[in-house]
Amino acid sequence: MAILIDGKKTSEQIKSEIASRVAEIKASGGKIPHLAAVLVGEDGASQTYVGAKVKACEQVGFQSTLVRLDADITEDALLHEVQRINDDADIDGLIVQLPLPKHISVEKVTAKIKPEKDVDGFTPANVGRMALNWPTYVSATPYGILELLKRYEIETSGKHCVVIGRSHIVGSPMSILMARNDYPGNCTVTITHSRTKDLAEIAKSADILIVALGRPEFVTAEMVKEGAVVIDVGIHRVADESKKSGFRLIGDVKFDEVASKASAITPVPGGVGPMTIASLLYNTLLAAERKIYP
Ligand code: GUN
């Protein structure tokens, strides 16, 4: 049976480290980190995520500002709002929750965020810095995965890392980060996607398998090498009448059968998910302390 990589516990540890740092800052009369989150429209999942981010800010002693805007806001008005926050000296970190309504260009809005405040690490400047292995805000999910690998002391050098999925938010940055000359990193990386031939065979050659495809229980035991480390980024609701909520959460990996083959695995829920908010808080602390852009 695999070691369970506990993202819930690790994220609580990180939050408590951040809270201690905030207490030190307060005691020395320094500036309290301040995160602004922009939420456009009424998307249920986005409301939940942003609510959790604001709550986590309170938990560690950060200041937070939630800017709620109507779904029919014009692109220009949203760009002005982003500029207003860019110019607000009290705000250290700024995130615009995605997805945005269809009439608004994600590229334009992302590019408008001041790189110094881009604690999501989504701007071209910060993605470029990440690719160059310069100091930057690594976006939440990739940073959370790196931190799990580090804190569970998983050897990565010389390993074959297979990434399933090429999204801008997870698969693509993960493939770059795992190949860089650093720890975690120094892997031989294969990035795979919907057009990949022989995906099962490639997955089976992975020492470290990172699955961010967005297909429920896509990875089965036959696709995993004995002793592999498996990181499951997927999260899906499936109906389950035995639960009070009427649903349960599953990942992109068929957990039970893969866990019996892997040497370490992240569960869903309680794996990568909780780490993302801890990562965002960490980046906001870096922003407040001017660690990336001195
Ligand atoms: N939507 C889904 N994940 C994210 C994230 O990490 N940041 C933002 N801003 N929006 C998201």
CATH code, 68: 3.40.50.10860
Q: Which of 100, 122, 141, 169 gets mutated to test ligand 1 (max ligand atoms within 8 A of its CB)?
A: 169
Residue 11 covered by a domain: no
Residues 212 and 248 in one domain: yes
**According to the model, what pLDDT value does residue 33 have?**
98
Candidate from 47, 48, 49, 110 with most ligand 1 atoms within 8 A of CB, to mutate: 49
Work out which ligand 1 atom sits closest to the CA atom of 141: 6
Per-10-residue mean pLDDT of the chain, 294 residues long, equals 96 98 98 98 95 97 98 98 98 98 98 98 98 97 98 98 98 98 98 97 98 98 98 96 95 98 98 98 98 97
Whose alpha carbon is nearest atom 8 of ligand 1? 97
Same domain for 268 and 174? yes
Tell me, what's the pLDDT at 1?
82
Q: Does 253 lie in the same domain as 148?
A: yes
Radius of gyration of the chain (CA): 19
Ligand 1 neighbours, Cβ below 6 Å, are 95-98, 120, 140
Range of the domain at 70: 29-117
**Do residues 112 and 146 both lie within one domain?**
no
Q: Which of 97, 235, 276, 284 to probe ligand 1 with, by most ligand atoms within 8 A of CB? A: 97
Domain assignment present for 192 = yes
How many domains does the chain contain in total?
2
Amino acid identity for residue 57 in this structure: C
Within a domain: 58:
yes
Q: Establish if 131 belongs to a structural domain.
A: no
**246 CA to middle of ligand 1, Å?**
26
Residues 102 and 149 in one domain: no
Whether 146 and 112 share a structural domain: no
213 in a structural domain: yes
The residues carrying an active-site annotation are 53, 97, 120
Tokens 């967005």, residue located: 214
End-of-domain residue from the set 117, 149, 165: 117
Same domain as 158, residue 84: no
Task: For residue 70, tell me if it sits in a domain.
Answer: yes
Q: What is the pLDDT of residue 7?
A: 98
Q: What is the CATH number of the domain that holds 160?
A: 3.40.50.720
- Residue 77, domain member (yes or no): yes
CA of 247 to the centre of ligand 1 (A): 23
